[in-house]
Amino acid sequence: MLLTDYLERNARLWGMETALVEINPSEERDRAKTWREFNLIENANPDAPYRRELSWTDFDRRANRFANLLLSRGIKPGTKVAILMMNCLEWLPIYFGILKAGCIVVPMNFRYSSEEIKYCLDLADVEVLIFGPEFISRMDVIKNDLSALRFVFYVGKNGPDYTEDCMRLMMFCSSNPPPVILQEQDLAAIYFSSGTTGFPKAILHNQRALAYACEVEQAHHGQQHDDVFLCIPPLYHTGAKMHWFGSLFSGGKAVLLRGVKPEWILRTVSDERCTIVWLLVPWAQDLLDAIDDGRLQLDDYALDQWRLMHIGAQPVPPSLINRWMRVFPRHQYDTNYGLSESIGPGCVHLGMENIHKVGAIGKPGYRWEAKIITPSGSEAAQGDVGELIVRGDGVMLCYYKNEEATNEVLRDGWLYTGDMARMDEDGFIYLVDRKKDVVISGGENLYPVQIEDFMRGFDKIKDVAVIGLPDSRLGEIAAAIVEIKPGLTCTEEELYAFCEGMPRYKRPRRIIFDDIPRNPTGKIEKPALREKYCRGRLVETQITG
C-alpha cells in the first residue's frame, strides 16, 4: 500500500471517527469562524482551550480537494509543492493532497529566515508554495524574488495581495479522488537536513520510502485503532510525521498540541485520553521538573490510559529515563534513532521490551540493517567505536542536485550516518557522538555525549552541551556550556568537583554558564555554540594543572 491508500482505507472503514484534533491553548477563539463551512467542531465551553477536530472522511475529502485544485491549475505530477505552515488541522490534508496529485511535497522548517526560505525554494525547484499567517513578514521580504513560483496559496484570513486564498478555492473543487495513478517508485517528498553545518541539503524520497516509514512505526509501537497519539513536534520534520504514521496505519486518533508547557501536555493527555506521547528531551525534563517542584500534581489529571512515552531526535540521557520511570513506573518506554535521510525514526530501535538497556539506541529496526565500521571500511570489533551505517527501503534516493554530497554518504545502498557508535555483547548499539563533534584533545578522542550524560547526573543542571575549543598546546579542549535549573545557583567549583567522578582526561577544562540553544526537534545547536565561544565573546574559566 502507498501512504495515500491508508488514508482512503481509513475513510472507508472509520469515516465518521475522529482522525485529527488540533488544540491551541493560546489561540484566539474567533479564528474558528473561518472553518464553519467545513463543519469543523468547536468546543462548547468558551473557557476551554481552542479545539478543532476532523474525521477520516473529511480528512480524505480535503486532501482530494487540494489535489484537484493543483490539477485544475495545470500542475503536473512531479511538480514540487512546498508547505510553510505551523502545526494545524490543515497541514496533513494539504500534505496528502500534494501526494494524491502525484506532486513532490516539500515541507519547510518554520524557523527559516527569509533568506533560508528563498534558498530552499530555489534548491528544491519549488513551483507552488502554501504558507500560513505566521510567515507573512518573512514572505514580504522576498515576495519580489518569487518569480520561479507559479502559484502562492495562503491558509488563513486576510492574506497578502500576492497570494490566493487556498481554503476558499478548495471549496469549489471536487472532493472525489483525483485521476492520478501513483507507483511505489514515484518521487514523493523532499525533506531538508537540519542545516547544522550550513544551509540545508534537500533529501529526496520516493513513495515506497514513505509507506515503509508507516510500516516501521506500527511494527515498533504496535498502535491499535483505539490508541490516541499526542503529536507536539513540528510536522515539517520527519520525526513527528513518521511517528504519526502509526496512527495512520491503525486508523487511530491523533492530537496536534500547539505548545509545550508541561501543564498543557498533561491536560491534553488527560482530556483527550492520549495513550502514546512522543517527547523531546527538553520537554520531558521540563515536565519532570514541574512535577518535582510541585507546580503540577499528577492527581489532577486522568493518566491511567497513557501507556507509552518515547523519545528520539537526539541522544537521550539515561538519567532522564531513570528519573521518568520513577515518576511513571507503569509506562512503557522506547527510543528510536533515525535521520531525515532514512525517512525519520526507526532505522535503529530500542524496543519497549528492552528498558534494561536504557542508554542504547537499540538494534536495527523493522526490516532495517545496521553495522558499525572502521575508517578502513571493515566492521568494528565489539565495543570499539566506529561509524554507524544503515540500509533499508527508507534510505533516501539522493541529496537533490548535490551529487558530491550524495556520494559521500551513499555507498552500495548503505547510508553513512556520520554518527559514531559502538555495539555491546548483546548486539545493542550505543550512540557515542556525531563524527564532526568528536573533540581531539592531546591525541585523545573525547565524545561530548558521554561527558554530557555524566554531567546531567548533577541535580542542579537543567541542560549541558560540550564542545571543543581551540587550545595552543592540546589542539582542543572540552568546554561544558551549562544551563542551571531556574531558581537555583551553582558555582564552577561545584561542577568541577562533581566531574572528578570522570576519568581525568574526560573532564571539561572550561565551564561556561549559559542557555543551551536547541532546534525545533530538540537537537543542541552546537555550531551556534562554537561560533559564539570560539570567537571569545565570553570569558571562560580554565582548569589549571
Task: Map 188-235 to HEC letters.
Answer: EEEEECCCCCCCCCEEEEEHHHHHHHHHHHHHHHCCCCCCEEEECCCC
Which uninterrupted H or E stretch holds 439? strand 439-441
Per-domain residue ranges for the chain? 3-221, 439-542
30 band by pLDDT with thresholds 50, 70 and 90 = very low
46 band by pLDDT with thresholds 50, 70 and 90 = very low
268 band by pLDDT with thresholds 50, 70 and 90 = very high
Q: Is the pLDDT of residue 467 over 90?
A: no
pLDDT at 196: 44
Mean pLDDT of 25-30: 56
pLDDT at 539: 37
Burial 2-22 (b: 16+ CB within 10 A, else e): bbbebbbbbbeebeeebbbbb
What pLDDT, in 10s, does the model give residues 426-460?
A: 999 998 766 677 787 765 678 787 888 889 889 89
* Beta strand pairing call for 308-312 and 276-279: parallel
Report the predicted TM-score, pTM, of the whole model to 2 decimal places.
0.82
41 band by pLDDT with thresholds 50, 70 and 90 = very low
pLDDT at 524: 79
* Beta strand pairing call for 414-423 and 386-391: antiparallel
What pLDDT, in 10s, does the model give residues 285-340?
A: 889 999 998 999 999 999 999 999 998 766 677 888 999 999 999 999 999 888 89
Of 191, 178, 180, 187, whose CA–CA distance to 208 is shortest?
187
Counting Cβ atoms within 10 Å, is residue 268 exposed (0-12), middle (13-18) or buried (19+)? buried
Q: Is the pLDDT of residue 160 over 70?
A: yes
Query: What is the residue whose three cell numbers read 563533534?
Result: 437
What is the distance between the alpha carbons of residues 275 and 137, in angstroms, rounded to a whole number? 38
Contact 396, 415 (CB under 8 A): yes
Mean pLDDT of 138-167: 94
pLDDT at 195: 52
Q: Is the pLDDT of residue 219 over 80?
A: yes
Q: What is the mean pLDDT of the chain?
A: 88
pLDDT at 543: 36
* Beta strand pairing call for 80-84 and 308-312: unpaired
311-to-250, 351, 395 alpha-carbon distances in Å:
21, 12, 21
Instruction: State what percent of residues in the chain have pLDDT above 70.
Output: 90
The identity of residue 183, as a single letter, is: Q
pLDDT at 540: 39
**24-33, 37-46, 90-99, 240-249 — which one is most confidently predicted on average?**
90-99
Q: What is the 3-state secondary structure (H, E, C) of 336-394?
A: EEEEHHHCEEEEEECCCCCHHHECECEEECCCCEEEEECCCCCECCCCCCEEEEEECCC
Contact 326, 311 (CB under 8 A): no
pLDDT at 194: 67
Contact 347, 392 (CB under 8 A): yes
* Domain 439-542 homologous superfamily, CATH: ANL, C-terminal domain (3.30.300.30)
Query: What is the residue whose three cell numbers read 511535497?
Result: 105
Q: Is the pLDDT of residue 162 over 70?
A: yes
545 band by pLDDT with thresholds 50, 70 and 90 = very low
What is the rounded (10 degree) CA torsion for 440, 446, 447, 449? -120
Say which CATH class 3-221 falls into: alpha beta
What pLDDT, in 10s, does the model give residues 499-516?
A: 988 878 788 999 999 998
What is the distance between the alpha carbons of residues 337 and 322, in angstroms, rounded to a whole number? 19
pLDDT at 532: 84
Cβ neighbours of residue 144 under 8 Å, at least 6 residues apart? none
Indicate if the alpha-carbon torsion angle 71, 74, 76, 79 is positive or negative: negative
Mean pLDDT of 393-410: 95
pLDDT at 36: 34
Cβ neighbours of residue 225 under 8 Å, at least 6 residues apart? 14, 250, 251, 252
Least confident of 46-50, 57-61, 207-211, 339-343: 46-50
pLDDT at 442: 61
Query: Can you tell me whether residue 449 is helix, strand or coil?
Result: helix
**58-72, 405-419, 529-543 — which one is most confidently predicted on average?**
58-72
Query: Can you tell me whether residue 514 is helix, strand or coil?
Result: coil
468 band by pLDDT with thresholds 50, 70 and 90 = confident
The identity of residue 486, as a single letter, is: P
